[in-house]
Amino acid sequence: MPIITLTTDMGTSGYYAGSVKAAILSGLPGATIVDITHHIRPFHISSAAFIIKNAYSQFPKGSVHIVSVDSLAGRNPRFLAISHDGHYFVGPDNGLFSLALDIQAAKVVEIGIAPELTAITFPARDVFAKVACHLANGGALEAVGKDCADYQRPTAWQPTYDANSITAVVVYVDEYGNCICNLDKKLFAQMAKGRSFVIDVKGYGIEVVSASYSQNPKGEIVAMFSSSGMLELAINHGNLSELIGVKEGDMVKISFA
C-alpha cells in the first residue's frame, strides 16, 4: 500500500488534520496515512526540518512525505515537489527542505497551481494532498510542475567557527526539553583535535561529551551526540529548556584550549 506521511503545525484539536486525511483518502482510497507529528510549533520551519531529516529514511522507499509548516509565508508562496533518496516530499518553498535534505542532489519541481485555485488558504488539503496522491499512485514528478532551481536556501544549520572556537545554534527543542544544535560530530572532532574544551550554554560550562544521559548524575547538564549525529544538550531526568531558558535560535559557544 502507498504510504503518505504528514508533518504539520496545525495541531489535532481542530478539523484541519482530518481534512487533509479526507482529501488523501478521497484521491487514493488505499493509501496508508502516517502522522509523524501535527505539533510543530507554528511557523517553526527549523523544527519541521529536523524532524523530517531524522524520520523520513525510516519509511520504505517510495513513501510520500507531506510537510505543511508556515506554508503561506511571503506575498506569493510557492510549493515544491521533490524526489530525493527514493522518497517524495511535498510542501512549501520556505527553506525547510533545504535544511532537511541534501536538496542539491534532488529533483525539484515547482508545483503548478490549477487555474480554479485562485485563492489558496489551505494548501495542505487543496494542493499537497492531491500531489501526494498522484506521486504515491506512481505518477511522474514532472507531471505536477516545472523544474525549479531557485528554491529557498537558508543557512540556519551552518555553524560558524575559527581555529579555537565553534558557535552553534539550537535548532530544535524536543518534548523533554533536550536542545539539539546545528553541530555534527565530525566537525566537532575535526576542530577539537584532541584538545580540551568548554561548551557554554547560557553561562553553564560543560567540559565533557558523554556517551549517554545515564553517564551523569540526575540533574546534571549533559552534552552528547545523539542518534541524529548532532550535538544535544540536556539534563539527566530534567528539562534543560525550562530550567535555564534555552530556546530555538539560542547560540552555544564551544571554546578549545
With a CB cutoff of 8 Å and minimum separation 6, the contacts of 158 are 182
pLDDT of residue 232: 96
With a CB cutoff of 8 Å and minimum separation 6, the contacts of 155 are none
Task: Report how far Cα 51 is from the mean position of its chain's Cα atoms.
Answer: 4
pLDDT of residue 227: 85
Edge-to-edge order in the sheet of strand 87-92: 32-37, 3-8, 64-68, 87-92, 79-84, 107-111, 145-147
**Cell numbers found for residue 58:** 525510516
Q: Which three-class secondary structure state does DSSP give residue 106? A: coil
Q: Are residues 55 and 141 in the same domain?
A: yes
Q: Are residues 121 and 245 in the same domain?
A: no
Output the tens digit of pLDDT for each of the chain's 257 residues: 899 999 999 999 999 999 999 999 999 999 999 999 999 989 999 899 999 999 999 999 999 999 999 999 877 889 999 999 999 999 999 999 998 998 887 899 999 987 666 678 899 999 999 999 999 999 999 999 999 998 988 765 689 999 999 999 998 999 999 999 999 999 999 999 999 999 999 999 999 999 988 888 888 999 999 888 899 999 989 999 999 999 988 999 999 98
pLDDT of residue 13: 94
pLDDT of residue 155: 64
CA dist list (Å): 28 to 1, 9, 47, 126, 137: 10, 23, 29, 14, 8
CATH code for the domain in which residue 126 is found: 3.40.50.10790
pLDDT of residue 192: 93
**What total number of domains does the chain contain?**
2
Q: Are residues 140 and 45 in the same domain?
A: yes
Task: Report how far Cα 109 is from the mean position of its chain's Cα atoms.
Answer: 20
Give residue 83's domain range: 3-147
**DSSP label of 210:** B
CATH code for the domain in which residue 201 is found: 2.40.30.90
Q: Are residues 95 and 189 in the same domain?
A: no
With a CB cutoff of 8 Å and minimum separation 6, the contacts of 195 are 256, 257
Q: Are residues 167 and 135 in the same domain?
A: no
